[in-house]
Structure 1
Amino acid sequence: MMEAAMIWNEPNNKSHWDPEIDPDWRLFAQMAILAGDAIAAADPGLTRVLGGISPIDPGFIGRMKDYGVLDHVDAVAVHGFPLDWNLWQIGEWPQRIQEIRSVTSLPIWVSEVGVSSFGAEEVQRWGLERTVALLKGKAERIQWYSLYDLPRAWEATTRHREAEGSSYYRHFYMGLLREDGSPKPALQEFIRHTPEIGLVQWFHFEDPRLDDAVAWMKQLGVTHLRTGLSWADSFRPGALDWFDRQMAALEDFDVTVTFCFTPEHRGLAPHHTSAPIHPEEFAEFCARMTERYAPGSRRCPAAADGYGSRPSMPLQPSRSSSDPSQPRP
């Protein structure tokens, strides 16, 4: 079920890695090297991906190369949202990919790309069509963000939140499905490109959308999915039971698991973006999860419970809406 392990998420974005603690990313590089080696020791055949960068910055990849990080991963990844947050036009996608190819020969994954329907749902549909046309054949993996809109009762994982103005609220409209599970116009466009184009869907701790998401993805023809397992969540009561349930539910897909989020009590600062006090602890978390869920290790203990077998569903609104009380990680 787990075909790849991604080391962190957007490490050059201050909403995911604190540059005041680690201004030259030296601590991140040390942590990434340890994690890459730990994942390889747990499953030598598993693809290791350097966390998708946002913004797309060849200088950051060059820095990781100089630190030796690229010797411990098998691919690098980029994230792009030119219609929402990036300061470049959507037609520049091929140029952005080429900029990364100029500094590394590793495969390049576009592990997160999307368009918000904040302004108009028709813009999202056009943006999906245009993005796929620009990226097909230019990157080794393309994954659309995301299946579901973010519930308005939750918070987007971003540093400044409402102070970002309309930029913040765009985070809540990235889904092919609205918060209530009903489809947007872009959904029909997405179906035209599966299984070649995959999905990104973050599942929060004990996320009530999990089973409906699995049914939707099977109906849409999705075969590869990117999601996450949170190091911070691993300290919650019942965390391993939830991880088992999530991964067993996703066993019919080729899953890229993103390992990220520092537990507050294990960071140099009490925040999920902080560099850890002991980077070896993050590497150990990556190894434990790889050993538990990667095919080259041992089978997910929850698989026998049947969570991975869900019937497909028609293209219609979800049977249950998201729980607005569900906390963010």
Structure 2
Amino acid sequence: MIEAAMLWNEPNNKSHWDPEIDPDWSMFAETMTIAAQAIRAENANIPRVLGGISPIDPFFIQRMQNYGLLDHIDVVAVHGFPLDWNLWQIKEWPDKIDEMRAVTDKPIWVTEVGVSSFGAEEVQAWGVNRTAELLVGKVDRIQWYSLFDLPQAWGATTRHKEAEGSSYYRHFYMGLIREDGTPKPSLEAFAQHTPDMGLCQWFHFEDPRLDEGVAWMKRLGVKYLRTGLSWADSYRPDALRWFDRQMEALADFDVTVTFCFTPEHRGISPHHTSPPQVKEEFAEFCASMIARYGSNRVSEAAE
């Protein structure tokens, strides 16, 4: 069921990896190297994807190459939100991909790209079409973030919170479907670009939207999906029951699974962004998930 394994999410963003504990990312590189080796030992058919970087920073990729991590990585991923958070214009997407290709010969995937409807839903619909125009055919994976708006009661996984003003609230308006379940104009625009464009949809632990999400994705003709299995969630009661249900529901899609989020009691600091106390524990989690859900077929990305 797992087509590709992504190691962490946005490691160069302080909302996902703590730069105060690991200012030069050496701990990150070592942790992910061990995990990548464990995944390869468990299933050599599954490509290993470096967690999508945000911001897009070629120097970060060079740093990971210097640490030797890229020797154990098959795909490099990037995330971009030029109409909401990035300090560049949407028309620069091809240039951003070229900047990455200048520093690595690995395939480049865009595993999160999106436009919020915070300002206007029409802008989001335009953003879907413009993104497809700029990226389809330039990279092998384009995954729109996201299918559903984030429910207001859940809170966004970010350190910034309300201190960032509207930047925080944009997190809640990234979906093609509103919180009340009704489609936005962008949903119809997105449907014109499948299966070339896939989706990134995070399903929270025991997420009540799972079955509805699967139905929508099949209706839209989605082939490629990116989601996550949380290391932190693996310590919850009945975690494997939920993981089994999630992965069984997603069996008809080519799924890139992101492994991330440090359990508070296993981090150097008690936070999901912390490097782990024992790096091998994260690797063991990744390998166990690959053993349980990994595909036996050779992925197109691994060929």
- Give me the TM-score of the superposition, normalised by structure 1: 0.90
For the residue of structure 1 that corresponds to 2:229, the secondary structure is: strand
Residue aligning to 2:125: 125
Deviations 1:139-187 (CA, angstroms, capped at 9, x unpaired): 1211000000000001101102111110000000000000011100001
- Write the mapping of 1:281-296 to structure 2, written as runs, cut at 5 A: 281-296=281-296
The alpha-carbon deviation at position 25 of structure 1 amounts to 0.2
- 1:56 & 1:140 partners in 2: Cα distance? 17
- 1:170 & 1:50 partners in 2: Cα distance? 26
RMSD of equivalent CA atoms:
0.8
Residue aligning to 1:311: none
Residue aligning to 1:301: none
Residue 31 (1) aligns with residue 31 (2): yes
- Give me the TM-score of the superposition, normalised by structure 2: 0.97
Residue aligning to 1:194: 194
Residue aligning to 1:247: 247
- 1:39 & 1:222 partners in 2: Cα distance? 26
- 1:268 & 1:296 partners in 2: Cα distance? 35
The alpha-carbon deviation at position 18 of structure 1 amounts to 0.3
- 1:160 & 1:184 partners in 2: Cα distance? 27
Residue 144 (1) aligns with residue 144 (2): yes
Residue aligning to 1:76: 76
- 2:136 & 2:287 partners in 1: Cα distance? 33
- 2:239 & 2:165 partners in 1: Cα distance? 34
Deviations 1:38-62 (CA, angstroms, capped at 9, x unpaired): 1111110001100000000000000
Give the letter aligned to residue 182 of structure 2.
Answer: S
For the residue of structure 2 that corresponds to 1:51, the secondary structure is: strand
For the residue of structure 2 that corresponds to 1:180, the secondary structure is: coil
Give the letter aligned to residue 156 of structure 1.
Answer: A
Deviations 1:123-153 (CA, angstroms, capped at 9, x unpaired): 0000111111111122121100000000000
Residue aligning to 1:209: 209
- 1:224 & 1:139 partners in 2: Cα distance? 13
Give the letter aligned to residue 148 of structure 1.
Answer: F
- 1:69 & 1:138 partners in 2: Cα distance? 25
Give the letter aligned to residue 222 of structure 2.
Answer: V
- 1:47 & 1:182 partners in 2: Cα distance? 36
Residue 154 (1) aligns with residue 159 (2): no
- 2:120 & 2:205 partners in 1: Cα distance? 30
- Write the mapping of 1:61-140 to structure 2, written as runs, cut at 5 A: 61-140=61-140
For the residue of structure 2 that corresponds to 1:194, the secondary structure is: coil
Give the letter aligned to residue 89 of structure 1.
Answer: Q
- 1:188 & 1:160 partners in 2: Cα distance? 32
Give the letter aligned to residue 262 of structure 1.
Answer: T
Residue aligning to 2:275: 275
For the residue of structure 1 that corresponds to 2:19, the secondary structure is: coil
Residue 18 (1) aligns with residue 53 (2): no
The alpha-carbon deviation at position 296 of structure 1 amounts to 2.3
Give the letter aligned to residue 32 of structure 1.
Answer: M
For the residue of structure 2 that corresponds to 1:269, the secondary structure is: coil
- 1:261 & 1:128 partners in 2: Cα distance? 29
Residue aligning to 1:309: none
Residue aligning to 2:235: 235
For the residue of structure 1 that corresponds to 2:5, the secondary structure is: strand
For the residue of structure 2 that corresponds to 1:214, the secondary structure is: helix
Give the letter aligned to residue 244 of structure 2.
Answer: D
- 1:156 & 1:175 partners in 2: Cα distance? 13
- 1:265 & 1:129 partners in 2: Cα distance? 44
- 2:238 & 2:177 partners in 1: Cα distance? 29
The alpha-carbon deviation at position 37 of structure 1 amounts to 0.6
- Give every structure 1 segment of 4 or more consecutive aligned residues whose post-TM-superposition deviation is greater than 2 Å: none
Give the letter aligned to residue 264 of structure 1.
Answer: E
- Write the mapping of 1:176-187 to structure 2, written as runs, cut at 5 A: 176-187=176-187
Residue 165 (1) aligns with residue 161 (2): no
Residue 47 (1) aligns with residue 81 (2): no
Give the letter aligned to residue 108 of structure 2.
Answer: I
Residue aligning to 1:56: 56
- 1:136 & 1:215 partners in 2: Cα distance? 24
Residue aligning to 2:300: none
Return 5+ residue gaps in structure 1 as ranges. 298-329
**How many residues of Structure 1 are paired with residues of Structure 2 in the alignment?**
297
Return 5+ residue gaps in structure 2 as ranges. 298-303
Give the letter aligned to residue 97 of structure 1.
Answer: I
- 1:255 & 1:42 partners in 2: Cα distance? 18
Percent identical across equivalent pairs?
73
